[in-house]
Chains A and B, each alone.
Chain A
Amino acid sequence: MSQPLDSKDVSSELPQQPSRHILGGRHGKADSLDAMTGVARYTDDISLPRMLHAKILRSPHAHAEIVRIDVSAAEALDGVHAVVVGREMPTCYGVIPWTPDEQALATDKVRYVGDAVAAVAAISEEIANLACQLIEVEYKVLPALITPEAALQHPEIKIHPNNKHGNITKSVQLAFGDVDGQLEAADLVVEGHYQFHGTTHGALEPHCAVAYFDTRQLLTVWSSTQVPHYLHRELAKVLGLPTYQIRVIQPLVGGGFGGKSEPFDLEFAAALLSIRTGRPVKLLYTREEVFLAHRGRHPFDMNYRTGFSKDGKILAVDARSILDGGAYSSFGLVTTYYSGQLLGSPYAFDSYRFDSTRVYTNKPACGPKRGHGSVQPRFAMEVQLDKAAVALGLDPIELRRRNFIGENTTTINEFHVGSSGFLECLDSVEQASGWKQRRGRLPRGRGLGVAGSTYISGTNYCIYPTELPQSGVQICLDRSGRVRVFAGTSDIGQGSSTMLSVIAAEELGVEIDDVRVIAADSDLCPVDLGAYSSRITLMAGNACLSAAKDLGGKVRDAVAKSWGCSRREVLLAGRRAQRLDDPSVWMSIQDAFVLAEIAYGTMGSTGSYQTPRQEVHGEYRGGTIGASPAYSFTAHIAEVEVDEETGEIEILHVWCAHDCGKALSPVLVEGQIEGSVYMGAAEVVLEHHHVMDSGLKADGSQRDSGPGVEGLLAASSLLDYRMPTTLDTPQLHAMIVEKPDPRGPYGAKEAGEGPLHSAIPAIVNAIYDAIGVRIDQLPATPSKILAALRAQRSGNPL
Chain B
Amino acid sequence: MSHSPHSQPPVRPVPAGAVRIACTINGQAREFVAAPMRRLIDVLRDDLGLVGTKEGCGEGECGACSILLDGQPVNSCLIPAIQVQGANLTTIEGLASRDTFNKTVLHPVQQAFLEHGGAQCGICTPGMIVTAAWMVQTGQPAADVPKVLAGNLCRCTGYAHIVTSVQAAVEAGQAAGLTERPAGEA
Closest residue of A by beta carbon distance from B115:
A28
A123 and B10 within 8 A (CB):
yes
B121 and A253 within 8 A (CB):
yes
A668 and B117 within 8 A (CB):
yes
A671 and B117 within 8 A (CB):
yes
Closest residue of A by beta carbon distance from B121:
A493
Alpha-carbon gap, A45 to B10, bound state (A): 18
Q: Is B102 an interface residue when CB atoms closer than 8 A count as contact?
A: no
Nearest-Cβ distance from residue B78 to partner chain A, whole angstroms: 13
B129-172 interface code vs A (CB 8 A; 1 in, 0 out): 10000000000000001110111111111111111000000000
Alpha-carbon gap, A727 to B151, bound state (A): 10
Nearest-Cβ distance from residue B126 to partner chain A, whole angstroms: 5
B125 and A78 within 8 A (CB):
no
Given that A667-B117, A732-B158 are contacting pairs, would A252 and B5 also be in contact in the complex, using a CB cutoff of 8 Å? Answer: no
Stretch at the interface among A154-162, A197-205, A575-583, A769-777: A197-205
**A-chain residues with CB within 8 Å of residue B126 when the two chains form the complex:** 35-36, 38
B155 and A257 within 8 A (CB):
yes
B120 and A670 within 8 A (CB):
no
**B-chain residues with CB within 8 Å of residue A678 when the two chains form the complex:** 157-159
B160 and A734 within 8 A (CB):
yes
Alpha-carbon gap, A103 to B125, bound state (A): 35
Q: Is B110 an interface residue when CB atoms closer than 8 A count as contact?
A: yes
A28 and B114 within 8 A (CB):
yes
Stretch at the interface among B16-24, B58-66, B177-185: B58-66
Alpha-carbon gap, A717 to B58, bound state (A): 10
**B-chain residues with CB within 8 Å of residue A51 when the two chains form the complex:** 10
B155 and A81 within 8 A (CB):
no
**B-chain residues with CB within 8 Å of residue A718 when the two chains form the complex:** 56-57, 59, 61-62, 153
Given that A76-B1, A725-B153, A732-B158 are contacting pairs, would A32 and B113 also be in contact in the complex, using a CB cutoff of 8 Å? Answer: yes
B121 and A255 within 8 A (CB):
yes
**B-chain residues with CB within 8 Å of residue A252 when the two chains form the complex:** 121-122
Within 8 A of B (CB), among A38-62: 38-42, 44-45, 47, 49-52
**B-chain residues with CB within 8 Å of residue A203 when the two chains form the complex:** 121, 123, 155
Alpha-carbon gap, A255 to B96, bound state (A): 25
Nearest-Cβ distance from residue B93 to partner chain A, whole angstroms: 5
**B-chain residues with CB within 8 Å of residue A255 when the two chains form the complex:** 120-121, 123, 155-156
Q: Is A726 an interface residue when CB atoms closer than 8 A count as contact?
A: yes
Q: Is B119 an interface residue when CB atoms closer than 8 A count as contact?
A: yes
Alpha-carbon gap, A321 to B57, bound state (A): 35
B150 and A36 within 8 A (CB):
no
Secondary structure call for the B interface: loop
Given that A494-B120, A726-B163 are contacting pairs, would A719 and B61 also be in contact in the complex, using a CB cutoff of 8 Å? Answer: yes
Q: How many residues of B contact A (CB 8 A)?
A: 67
Nearest-Cβ distance from residue B33 to partner chain A, whole angstroms: 15
Alpha-carbon gap, A32 to B165, bound state (A): 13
**A-chain residues with CB within 8 Å of residue B110 when the two chains form the complex:** 33, 36-37
Given that A123-B12, A254-B122 are contacting pairs, would A717 and B3 also be in contact in the complex, using a CB cutoff of 8 Å? Answer: no
B120 and A29 within 8 A (CB):
yes
A204 and B64 within 8 A (CB):
yes
Q: Is A80 an interface residue when CB atoms closer than 8 A count as contact?
A: yes
Q: Is A299 an interface residue when CB atoms closer than 8 A count as contact?
A: no
A197-221 interface code vs B (CB 8 A; 1 in, 0 out): 0000111111000000000000000
Given that A671-B117, A726-B163 are contacting pairs, would A52 and B10 also be in contact in the complex, using a CB cutoff of 8 Å? Answer: yes
**B-chain residues with CB within 8 Å of residue A202 when the two chains form the complex:** 155
Q: Is B76 an interface residue when CB atoms closer than 8 A count as contact?
A: no
**A-chain residues with CB within 8 Å of residue B62 when the two chains form the complex:** 204, 718
Q: Is B6 an interface residue when CB atoms closer than 8 A count as contact?
A: yes
Given that A37-B110, A80-B1, A732-B158 are contacting pairs, would A287 and B57 also be in contact in the complex, using a CB cutoff of 8 Å? Answer: yes
Nearest-Cβ distance from residue B128 to partner chain A, whole angstroms: 9
Alpha-carbon gap, A271 to B174, bound state (A): 52
Alpha-carbon gap, A28 to B164, bound state (A): 14
Q: Is A472 an interface residue when CB atoms closer than 8 A count as contact?
A: no
**A-chain residues with CB within 8 Å of residue B106 when the two chains form the complex:** 36-37
Q: Which of B129, B152, B160 contacts A674 (CB 8 A)?
A: B160
Alpha-carbon gap, A44 to B162, bound state (A): 24
Q: Is B27 an interface residue when CB atoms closer than 8 A count as contact?
A: no
A39 and B52 within 8 A (CB):
yes
**B-chain residues with CB within 8 Å of residue A278 when the two chains form the complex:** 5-6
Q: Which of A36, A675, A725 contacts B156 (CB 8 A)?
A: A675
A254 and B9 within 8 A (CB):
no
Q: Is A262 an interface residue when CB atoms closer than 8 A count as contact?
A: no
**B-chain residues with CB within 8 Å of residue A734 when the two chains form the complex:** 160
B3 and A81 within 8 A (CB):
yes
B150 and A726 within 8 A (CB):
yes
Residues of A within 8 A of B (CB): 28-29, 32-42, 44-45, 47, 49-52, 75-76, 78-82, 122-124, 201-206, 252-255, 257, 276-279, 286-287, 492-495, 667-668, 670-671, 674-679, 717-719, 723, 725-727, 729, 732, 734
Residues of B within 8 A of A (CB): 1-3, 5-6, 9-13, 45-46, 49-59, 61-62, 64, 91-93, 95-96, 104, 106, 110, 113-126, 129, 145-147, 149-163
User: Would you list 22 pairs from A and B whose C-beta atoms are within 8 A, ordered by A residue?
Assistant: A32-B114, A32-B117, A36-B118, A36-B125, A38-B52, A38-B53, A38-B92, A44-B55, A45-B51, A47-B46, A47-B49, A50-B10, A79-B13, A82-B1, A204-B56, A255-B156, A279-B10, A671-B161, A718-B56, A718-B59, A726-B152, A726-B163
Question: What 10 A-B pairs have minimum CB-CB distances, sorted nearest first?
Answer: A38-B52, A493-B121, A35-B122, A254-B123, A678-B158, A38-B92, A123-B10, A674-B158, A718-B61, A278-B5
Known contacts A75-B1, A729-B158, A729-B160; 16 additional CB pairs below 8 A are: A33-B110, A36-B114, A38-B93, A41-B51, A47-B51, A204-B56, A204-B155, A254-B121, A254-B122, A277-B5, A493-B123, A668-B117, A676-B158, A718-B59, A726-B162, A727-B146
